[in-house]
Amino acid sequence: MASIQKNPFAIVPDSMTVTQDAAKFIENVTFNDLSKETLRVGTRCLLDGLGLYVAGSDHECVTVLADVAKQSAGAPEALLLGHGDFKVPAPMAARVLGTSGHTHDWDDSQVSLDPDHVYGLLTHPTIPPLTGTMVVSQMLGGVSGKDFMLAFMTGFEVECKISEWMFSQHYKRGFHSSGTVGTFGAYAAAAKLLGIKGDALRYGLGMAASFASGIRINFGTMTKPLHVGRACENGVTAAILAKAGYTADPSALDGIWGFFAVQGGGVTAEKIAQGFGKTWTIDHPGVSIKPYPCGVLTHPSADLMVRLVKGNNVRSEDIESVVLSAGSNILNPIRYPIAKNHLQAKFSLPAILSMVALNGKAGKYEFSDEFVGGDPMQAMQKRITCQFDPEIEAMGFDKMRSKIKIILKNGTVHEGKADERYRGGPENPLSNEDLEGKVFSCTEGVLSDAATRRLIDHAWKILDLPDATILAKLLHE
């Protein structure tokens, strides 16, 4: 008699149909299923993503990849970011474009109301499905703005639901959700545009499940944004192979050796009942659009530092010391006590607070190696201490809580608590004007103001575009 296989490291329901359900959703969802709110927020995410592509396009993380892609070349299917009219195979273009979108760690964050999910935030949802949509649209040509948004939102929803349903130990074990789950977002968007149907959709999900990768040890290095670039590349590759007849396990998200079990230790059975597209994640609980190009866990503290510095006319030369207090949910992952370069600075509270102390802001310029490695930044970071606060820890991880005390050389003290309704989140979203301001900040030094204005205007009117591939061209003006 055959023995019954069990996975002692995973908890999954006896019967799961997530792979089948995801495939049905991708195949059957229509533009009419998108609510006005889905399209409103989705258009904001589109605009944000376009700006982020430009922001990363001149970064070493991207220029190295683009140079390698140009040397490799191949079928001219999609524009190679930063290289004008030069085209490369779609998966290769996706690798470069996706890496660029995540290079500055400025892309949006999925929100969760589940207190078990660390920090309440999961994957960065926009860049993988947007990249899949961008490159496959160019492969096909003539994709309308409505079809573009349908594919983008389809991938967004699949990615977010998989991320939400999986146990939080996926992230706690050291996986980078944007690199792993992002693969499914890119795949679903690409598959929707390619018109893949039936079993082929499930095979593509099986390939995506095997391709999904990315571990947190590479946070603070060039490889961290490459996680997202590879998710985009792998998702597009899975769609192209599925379209060509390549096969995989048709239930690779499910069961004792499926994606949920192997990478996440299991899945929340009650959440699976939410289904895909019944309540769209982009509608509820929503998405957070980042005001700063760094880990979102630092944002409430950065906003508080801005308030304290500007509200009290604090000059950097007058600061004796700064003490930031927070719980382990913030102090553990934001791990660099003194950042030596801009990549480390994205995970360093002393670095971000130092930027605000010196320049009153923390934007693309402040997150440069030249600025971070400069004497003023290195000296200021040494005046900033981060300490564990047991009272904040006891309040739980549902909010990003912190407090700051600035002590001046004359003995004056300025202190306050971070706003738990963090700026950029669903409870306190960026205005459209602030979002446009972020895009201009992203494109500074790369596109002219006039070119940026054209990019913004085309994004706002995406649903009226007869051919959405113009967006890719506008990134290169």
Q: Domain with 56 in it: what CATH number? A: 1.10.4100.10
State yes or no: pLDDT of 398 exceeds 80: no
Candidates 194, 197, 198, 133; CA nearest to 159 is 133
**Residue 443 maps to a domain:** no
Mean pLDDT for 357-367 is 93
Q: What integer is the mean pLDDT of 132-152?
A: 98
- Domain contains 10: no
- pLDDT, residue 295, reads 80
- The yes-or-no verdict on residue 119 having pLDDT over 70 is no
CATH at 411: 3.30.1330.120
- Torsion, Cα 262 268 271 277, to 10 degrees, reads 0
Domain boundary among 417, 446, 463: 417
- What's the confidence (pLDDT) of residue 145? 98
- What's the per-residue H, E or C state across 161-172? HHHHHECCHHHH
Q: Let me know if residue 331 belongs to a domain.
A: yes
Same domain, 235 and 334: no
Mean pLDDT of 81-89: 96
Tell me the pLDDT band of 172, cut-offs 50, 70 and 90: confident
Kindly tell me if the per-residue pLDDT of 381 is higher than 80.
yes
Residue 117 pLDDT exceeds 90: no
Whether the Cβ atoms of residue 236 and residue 92 lie closer than 8 Å to each other: no
More confident site: 16 or 100: 100
* Confidence check: pLDDT of 297 > 90: no
Confidence grade of residue 2 (pLDDT, cut at 50, 70, 90) = very low
Checking if the pLDDT of 292 tops 70, the result is yes
Task: With a cut of 90, say whether residue 126 has pLDDT above it.
Answer: yes
Q: What is the mean pLDDT of residues 448-452?
A: 97
- Same domain, yes or no: 224 and 314: no
- Both 72 and 178 in a single domain? yes
Domain end point (choices 417, 444, 464) = 417
On whether both 263 and 322 belong to a single domain, the answer is no
Task: Indicate whether 262 and 313 sit together in one domain.
Answer: no
Query: Which among 103, 232, 257, 74 is positioned nearest to 159, based on CA atoms?
Result: 232
Do the domain assignments include residue 12?
Answer: no
Same domain flag for 278 and 302: no
Please give the mean pLDDT across all residues of the chain.
94
Q: Residue 6 above 70 pLDDT?
A: no
Q: What percent of the chain has pLDDT over 70?
A: 97
Q: Give me the percent of the chain exceeding a pLDDT of 90.
A: 83
> Could you tell me the pLDDT band of residue 420, with boundaries at 50, 70 and 90?
confident
Show the domain range for 287.
18-291+454-474
Mean pLDDT to the nearest integer, 286-313? 94
pTM for this predicted structure: 0.90
Please give the Cα distance from 38 to 30 (Å, whole number). Answer: 13
User: Average pLDDT, stretch 462-471?
Assistant: 98
Q: Is residue 261 domain-shared with residue 157, that is, in the same domain? A: yes
pLDDT band for 5, please (50, 70, 90 cuts).
Answer: low
For residue 3, pLDDT beyond 60:
no
Residue 429 lies in a domain: no
Q: Which of 49-53, 91-95, 340-344, 408-412 has the lowest mean pLDDT?
A: 340-344
Residue at 281 is within a domain: yes
Q: Lowest mean pLDDT: which of 177-181, 265-269, 305-309, 413-417?
A: 265-269
Is the confidence at residue 371, as pLDDT, over 60?
yes
57-95 burial by CB neighbour count: b if 16+ within 10 A, else e?
bebebbbebbeebeeeeeeebbbbbbbeebbbbbbbbbb
User: What's the mean pLDDT in 52-61?
Assistant: 96
Distance, in Å, from the CA atom of 42 to the CA atom of 44, rounded to the nearest integer, reads 5
Residue 186 confidence (pLDDT) above 60: yes
pLDDT the model gives residue 422:
84
pLDDT over 60 at 4, yes or no: no
416 sits in which H/E element: strand 413-417
The number of domains in the chain is: 2
The one-character DSSP state at 216 is G
Please say if the pLDDT value at position 118 is more than 70. no
Q: Are 227 and 85 contained in the same domain?
A: yes
Is residue 81 assigned to a domain?
yes
Same domain? For 313 and 250 the reply is no
Are residue 194 and residue 58 in the same domain, yes or no? Answer: yes
Structural domain includes residue 103:
yes
- Asked if 271 and 300 sit in the same domain, the reply is no
Same-domain check for residues 281 and 301 = no
